[in-house]
Amino acid sequence: MIFDRFRILGWLIPVACCATSGWLVFQANLAFRNSNEVRNRAHIEAQQALQQRKLIDGLPTERRYATVVNSPTEDYSFATYFKQSAQACGVTLSNWTVQTTDMGKESASAKALNADPLMKGIEKIDTSVTLTGPYNRLRSLVSLLESSDRLFALSNLVWIRTPDGTSLTMSISRYVTPIKVPVAPVEIKQS
Amino acid sequence: MSRKETSLLGIDLHEGEIRVVQLKVRSNQSTVEKMGRASMPQGAINHGIISNPELVGNALRSLLDSMAVTATHAVIGLPNDGLSVRTFAVPPAPEGELRMIVEGEVNHHGLIRGVGGAFAFVKLNSDLQPDSNHAWSEDTKIWMDSKHGKVKPNLVTVFAVEQDSINALRDAMTVANLTIEAIEPASYSMYRAILNAEPPQTTFFTVMVSGASTDICVVDQGHLVAFRRIDIGARALAGDNLHSSEFAFAGVNLAAYADEPREAGTRISILNSSALETFSTEVHRTLYYYQREYPNLAMCEKVVLASDDSRLDMLSEELGKTLGFTVDTARPFSSLGDHSSFESSFADRFELVACTAIGLGLHGNILNRAPRIDLFASERNAVADIVSKRNFRGSILTSVMAVVLGIAGCSVYYSQIAKLDADAKNAQAQEQLVKSAIDIKVQERHKQADQYRAFRKLGIPVTAILDSIAGAVAPGTGLTSVNVTNNQAVVIDGEAVNEASMLNTVKALQDCPLLQDLRISWFRQSTNEKPNGPKTGAISFEFKGKTVTLDRIQQGEDKVS
């Protein structure tokens, strides 16, 4: 048999080229499948995240809350609410004293209460009230305050029986967050 | 066990007629399967070269069809007119390098004048060397050196042909729809047919008469020792000066002449006497020359004469008379298998002119005693080389296409992959955004809940305390004040009608889960009654304890957690 290098190379080169090309295309196909799978998985996870967000967005907001954003009408609103409640319960409001404590400041009372970082920067407004009236009505008013969606922390309770009925003195604490004022941009003048 | 059977056509394109023999080789024994002859068309061959290949091809095809030949491979005989023959002495060289050396000699002596062309050679028996400085190849220095015993040269007889002759044969075979197995000189094929018909180890001379020339071979114990051409042939001997193209035109029909029934003793010689005399002289001189040149040559046993012209059927007798010893006519069928299926008279007449065709047919038998030569080998190799290179170019093209397709496929894939990756990154970024928003929202909700719980710690459960204390007051006991300080300390003041009532109240208050560490701070019995004060004998008391913060009460219930 005659050794013909053109014949041998004529077979070897196309076979090698076809095999190499086929292998490269096969690898590219594998990479394409892998990328497609990654993309599909990413889309599925994105859809799941969107559904989770919809689910969370659909959840009802917390009914009970501890703080409200401070506003100029905060005291007025609370006083109106309390007065109306007392009136509804048949209780007489005989004393009303308001004291504000900034939980973020370094005051002694604030320091004691400000251990928890959740309270930092929140203003505490204490209102000392004295109420008179029958026990049952006083209880109704206190119960109304405690079952309110907004948290009113009651403390310093003084319950005295008087010949006219019952006198109840207590401190009502409510909490407000300060209004965030946007910071104006600072202009830097270069000399 | 299967035995290989092959059939091969031997085609002799004589200037006057076409002769075809189909030989079958079975178990290395050649047998005549078919044989036939037909006149060569007028104008088909001119000066020994096929001038009209289409005419030759069609005539050959017609003959093959009439013979019902099925073989497609043929060995073609090249007429002597278009062939150059020369014997060279070349330096000793390995077989693989001999062809290159001979090619140099062919080029040096200008045996091929045109572009292309082909040559083939046979190596003569080098054991016998001429013993004279009158050798026909003394022009080479190597020959002179050999005479002094310095070197032992190779003697080769070269057959060279112009490219036109090869092309014409190839075209004719294409028209006849045949595949060329080989192209051999007609005279060499004749020599093969004679050699195979003789017993091995025989020493003899062969005289092979063709149209324009006669070739004489010296065979020593079955080996070719010398090959010489003399320029007198059948046309001169037959007394006509017509050229091959004029045979049919002049009414000389070789086939008809050969088919004409002639009995022994009634034959009349048509040989030209002067040409015969010249021919005999030339042959005699040649035989004498070789006998003188080769003193070591074995005793010559006989002279065998062969001719491709049926009109020379009496030449052997005439030559024998002139030379003075017996000249045998070649009988090539004797070396072949049974051919009794052919009509005997046809076979006998055909055998006289069929040496060339049979020798060509024997080319396919590997046991034939004359080496094969092929003037078509270089052409075939060139064609094979062209085909091989064309195939190689096709392979390269295929490879390039495969690479291009591979690159294109990869490019398309990777562009798609890039798009998919970008899409996946977008989806992942969107997912991260959504998850961040979810986290922020969840953290907000958690912070709000935690903050609510934290602030509940700052208050006390007033309603629950009131209910607990009011519910714990035993009959005969009344409370005057309840004071709960900022640090959850509880101070309860009251009055009781007797100690038992007070103790019952203490017991009930101590059972209350909202009050812890409740103790009686003091109690005393009233001795004198005061306005708005306790009555005489009543017991005043004060209890102290601690309560819990609001966060200990579960939301919406008044239970201590």
Q: B375 CB contacts (<8 Å, ≥6 apart)?
A: B78, B118, B119, B120, B159, B161, B166, B182, B183, B184, B185
Residue type for position A3: F
How many CA atoms does the CB half-sphere of B460 hold within 13 Å? 22
Closest CA to B60 of B83, B43, B44: B44
From chain B, pick out residues whose CB is under 8 angstroms from the CB of A165.
none
Q: B456 CB contacts (<8 Å, ≥6 apart)?
A: A66, A151, A153, B549, B550, B551
Q: Is the pLDDT of residue A94 over 60?
A: yes
Q: Which pLDDT band, with edges at 50, 70 and 90, does B174 fall under? A: very high
Task: Please give the residue of chain B at the shortest CA–CA distance from A4.
Answer: B388
Quote the tokens at residue B534. Answer: 């306790």
Of A31, A57, A155, the CB nearest to B486: A155
Task: Please give the residue of chain A at the shortest CA–CA distance from B469.
Answer: A159
Span B71-92, average pLDDT: 88
Confidence at residue B1, expressed as pLDDT on a 0 to 100 scale = 38
Q: Which pLDDT band, with edges at 50, 70 and 90, does B121 fall under? A: very high
From chain A, pick out residues whose CB is under 8 angstroms from the CB of B420.
32, 35-36, 38-39
Above pLDDT 90, what percent of chain B?
31
Of B413, B431, B463, the CB nearest to A46: B431
Q: Is B258 helix (H, G, I), strand (E, B) or coil?
A: helix
Please tell me the least confidently modeled range out of A38-42, B58-62, B340-344. B340-344
How high is the ipTM of this complex? 0.79
State the sign of the Cα–Cα–Cα–Cα dihedral B294, B295, B299, B302.
positive
From chain B, pick out residues whose CB is under 8 angstroms from the CB of A135.
466, 470
What are the φ/ψ torsions at residue B290 (nearest 5 degrees)?
Answer: -70, -40
Beta bridge partners of residue B206, listed in sequence order: B217, B304
CB contact under 8 A, A156 and B485: yes
CB contact under 8 A, A28 and B413: yes
Element spanning A103, H or E: none
Q: Concatenated DSSP letters for B124-169?
A: --TTS----TT-TTTTSHHHHHHHTTS--PEEEEEEEE-HHHHHHH
Confidence at residue B16, expressed as pLDDT on a 0 to 100 scale = 84
Confidence at residue B435, expressed as pLDDT on a 0 to 100 scale = 93
Confidence at residue B503, expressed as pLDDT on a 0 to 100 scale = 92
For the stretch B325-357, pLDDT in tens is 788 888 888 878 766 777 777 777 788 788 899
Q: Which pLDDT band, with edges at 50, 70 and 90, does B244 fall under? A: very low
Residue type for position B540: S
What are the φ/ψ torsions at residue B162 (nearest 5 degrees)?
Answer: -75, 160
- Residue with tokens 């809350």, as numbered in its chain: A65
Q: Which among A4, A30, A54, A118 is the top mutation candidate for probing chain B, defined by the most B β-carbons within 10 Å of its own β-carbon?
A: A118
d(CA B42, CA B101): 41
For the stretch B431-476, pLDDT in tens is 999 999 999 988 888 888 888 888 888 889 999 998 889 899 999 9
For the stretch B280-327, pLDDT in tens is 888 888 888 887 777 767 666 688 999 888 888 788 888 888 887 788
From chain B, pick out residues whose CB is under 8 angstroms from the CB of A25.
406, 409-410, 413
Confidence at residue B399, expressed as pLDDT on a 0 to 100 scale = 92
CB contact under 8 A, A142 and B550: no
Confidence at residue B522, expressed as pLDDT on a 0 to 100 scale = 92
Contact criterion met (CB below 8 Å) for B51 and B88:
no
Of B442, B462, B480, the CB nearest to A56: B442
Q: Which pLDDT band, with edges at 50, 70 and 90, does A38 fall under? A: very high
CB contact under 8 A, A7 and B391: yes
Span B490-499, average pLDDT: 92
Confidence at residue B541, expressed as pLDDT on a 0 to 100 scale = 92
Of A50, A66, A146, the CB nearest to B452: A66
Confidence at residue B140, expressed as pLDDT on a 0 to 100 scale = 54
d(CA B251, CA B244): 12
Tell me the average pLDDT of chain B: 82
B334 or A55, which is more confident: A55
CB contact under 8 A, A159 and B483: yes
CB contact under 8 A, B420 and A38: yes
Helix axis angle, B499-511 relative to B462-472, nearest 10°? 140
Q: B518 CB contacts (<8 Å, ≥6 apart)?
A: B490, B506, B509, B510, B512, B543, B544, B545
Confidence at residue B133, expressed as pLDDT on a 0 to 100 scale = 44
CB contact under 8 A, A158 and B394: no
Task: Please give the residue of chain A at the shortest CA–CA distance from B457.
Answer: A153
From chain B, pick out residues whose CB is under 8 angstroms from the CB of A154.
459-460, 462, 550
Beta bridge partners of residue B212, listed in sequence order: none
d(CA B491, CA B393): 112
d(CA B121, CA B185): 10
Q: Which among B419, B434, B443 is the top mutation candidate for probing chain A, defined by the most A β-carbons within 10 Å of its own β-carbon?
A: B434
Of B388, B407, B460, the CB nearest to A4: B388
What's the length of chain A? 191
- A vs B, Cβ pairs < 8 A, gives 199
Please tell me the least confidently modeled range out of B62-76, B297-311, B408-422. B297-311
Confidence at residue B490, expressed as pLDDT on a 0 to 100 scale = 93
CB contact under 8 A, A39 and B413: no
Contact criterion met (CB below 8 Å) for B80 and B190:
no
Confidence at residue B119, expressed as pLDDT on a 0 to 100 scale = 92
Span B222-243, average pLDDT: 79
Q: Is the pLDDT of residue A39 over 90?
A: yes
CB contact under 8 A, B555 and A4: no
Of B396, B410, B478, the CB nearest to A13: B396
Q: B265 CB contacts (<8 Å, ≥6 apart)?
A: none
Q: Is the pLDDT of residue B142 over 60?
A: no
Q: Which pLDDT band, with edges at 50, 70 and 90, does A103 fall under? A: low
Helix axis angle, A74-89 relative to A135-146, nearest 10°? 140
For the stretch B156-170, pLDDT in tens is 999 999 988 899 999
Q: Which pLDDT band, with edges at 50, 70 and 90, does B5 fall under? A: low
Where helices occur in A69-107 by DSSP H, the ranges are 74-89
Q: Is the pLDDT of residue B138 over 60?
A: no
Whole-Å CA distances, B472 to A19, B522, B527, B557: 96, 18, 27, 19
Where helices occur in B198-314 by DSSP H, the ranges are 234-237, 254-259, 273-293
Closest approach of A187 to chain B, Cα-based (Å): 33
Measured from the Cβ of residue B20, the count of other Cβ atoms closer than 10 Å reads: 26
